[in-house]
Amino acid sequence: MVVQPAAFLRTTLPLDLGQLDRLDSGRYHSIWLPDHMVSFWPDSIWTPEFTDLAVASPSPHRHLDGMAVAAAAAVLTENVPLVTSVVDTVRRHPASLAQSALTIDHLSKGRFVLGLGSGESENIVPYGFDFSRPVGRFEEALHVIRLLWDSAGPVDFDGRFFRLRHARLDTEPYEGRVPPIWIGASGPRSLDIAGRYADGWWPAGAWTPDDYAEKLSRVKASAERADRDPDGITPCFIQVCVMGRDEAELAEVLQAPLVKSFLLQVSAQVLDAFGFEHPMGADWGGFHDIDPGALTRERLVDFLDRVEPEMILAMVPHGTPAQVARVVKDYVDAGLRVPKILDYGAMAGLNYAAASARNVADAEDALLSLCGSVE
C-alpha cells in the first residue's frame, strides 16, 4: 500500500459540495466525513470577543448528518472512496447502520467505507442516549452488522444490548462485496476489537510515532490471533498539527483562543507525560470531559491564561508545511499509510483559515516527496 493522503469534507453548514470535483481527482486516497451533533468548541468562547470565526458562523455546532452527506457525495463523485469518520454505535442501531451502509455503497458503486467508533459523550449524553459500557456496546454492534450482512436469511440474536427476532436484511451487497469497516480505537480493548473486525484503523490519539507504532502492533497482533491478515488493515491517522509560513506567524497562531483550546481534547494524564500540568486541572479527562454548553466563560478565561505555547508544541507537529511533513514522515515510518493532515492553525481566525488550505496542500506535497517509493 502506497502512502496517500486523505481529504476531509466538513459536514457543517454552510456545506460546500462544490469541492468534490477537486477531491475526486485522484490526489486523495479517500474523503473522510465527520458525524457529530456538536463540536468540541465551547459556546462561551465561540463569540466575537474571542474569534472572528463567530462572525462568519453563529455556532460551531451546525452539523449535518454524516451518513446523509456521504450519500450526496456518493452520487456527485466517481472515483474516490467515502469514509464516515466516525459514526458512533450509540445513536444508531446496528441494523440501521448495516442498511444505510449498503445503501450508500450502492449509490457510490462500491466506494463507501463505514467508519465506526464507540462514541463521545458530547454527542450522546445531552440527547438522552445510554452511554454506559460504550466499548461493549460497540463490539456487539459490530457483531450484529456483520451478522446481518453475512446471513442468507432471517436471523435471531440475543445480546446484552441488542436483540434480533427473525430479522432480515435481504439487500445484496454491491457486486457481492460488503463495505469495508474502519474503526477508530485507542484503548487496549478497542485496539483488540479493531484487530478482529477492522479493515482500516485510526487512533483517537497517538502522540508520538512510537505511540502510533505500538498501537498499530496491538491491532495487527489481534488480527493474527483472529486468523485475519494484519496487512489487510489500512493504517490511518488524523494528524493534528499547527502550521505557519514562518516563526512569527506560528507564534501568532498559537495565541489564538481556539487554537489554545485544542488542549481541552488532551487529558491531564497525557499532558503530564510531556512534562506539563494541565490548565484544566489534574483530573481533566480530555475530549471525554468536554461539554460545550457547560464550560463557563470564567473557567475558560482562566484556562486560556494558563495555556503555554510550549504545551501545544509538545503535543503536535508544528512549523512550516515542510517541517510538519518531516514529522508526519516519522509516523509513516511507524506504519501509517493514509494520513489526514489537519491544521489547527485554521482556528486562529478567518485570515488564517483561508491560508490553512494552502498550508495543508503544501505539507501533503512535501510528505509525498519524502515518502517517494514507500509502500
The pLDDT tens digits for 216-230 are: 999 999 999 999 999
DSSP alpha helix (H) spans, the chain:
20-23, 53-56, 66-76, 94-107, 134-150, 188-197, 209-225, 247-254, 257-260, 268-273, 297-306, 309-315, 321-333, 350-371
129 domain residue, yes or no = yes
109 domain residue, yes or no = yes
Q: What is the pLDDT of residue 312?
A: 97
Count of CB atoms within 10 A of residue 249's CB? 17
Q: Which three cell numbers stand for residue 40?
A: 468540541
Residue 253 CB contacts under 8 Å (≥ 6 apart), including other chains: 242, 243, 244, 259, 345, 348, 352
pLDDT digits (tens, 9 = 90+) for 293-349: 889 999 999 999 999 999 999 999 999 999 999 999 999 999 999 999 999 999 999
Nearest of 239, 95, 109, 235 to residue 169 by alpha carbon: 95
Structural domain tally of the chain? Answer: 1
CATH code of the domain containing 76: 3.20.20.30
Q: What is the pLDDT of residue 103?
A: 98
227 domain residue, yes or no = yes
Q: What is the pLDDT of residue 373?
A: 64
334 domain residue, yes or no = yes
Q: Checking phi first, is residue 84 left (phi over 0); if not, alpha (psi -120 to 50) or beta?
A: beta
Q: What is the pLDDT of residue 288?
A: 81
Give the phi and the psi of residue 373 in degrees, each rounded to 5: -95, 15
Element (H, E) at 339: strand 338-343
298 domain residue, yes or no = no
Q: What is the pLDDT of residue 263?
A: 97
**Residue 64 lies in domain:** 6-245+318-371
**How far is the C-alpha of 89 from the C-alpha of 138, rounded, in Å?**
6
239 beta partners:
341
**How far is the C-alpha of 5 from the C-alpha of 21, rounded, in Å?**
16
12 domain residue, yes or no = yes
- The pLDDT tens digits along the chain (375 residues) read 799 999 999 999 999 999 999 999 999 999 999 999 999 999 999 999 999 999 999 999 999 999 999 999 999 999 999 999 999 999 999 999 999 999 999 999 999 999 999 998 889 989 999 999 999 999 999 999 999 999 999 999 999 999 999 999 999 999 999 999 999 999 999 999 999 999 999 998 899 999 999 999 999 999 999 999 999 999 999 999 999 999 999 999 999 999 999 999 999 999 999 999 999 999 999 988 888 988 999 999 999 999 999 999 999 999 999 999 999 999 999 999 999 999 999 999 999 998 999 999 999 999 999 998 677
225 domain residue, yes or no = yes
Q: Is the dihedral of CA 139, 142, 144, 150 positive or negative?
A: negative
Residue identified by cell 491544521 is: 343
Using the 8-state DSSP alphabet, how is residue 167 labeled?
Answer: E
Q: What is the pLDDT of residue 274?
A: 96
Helix, strand, or coil here: 340? strand
254 domain residue, yes or no = no
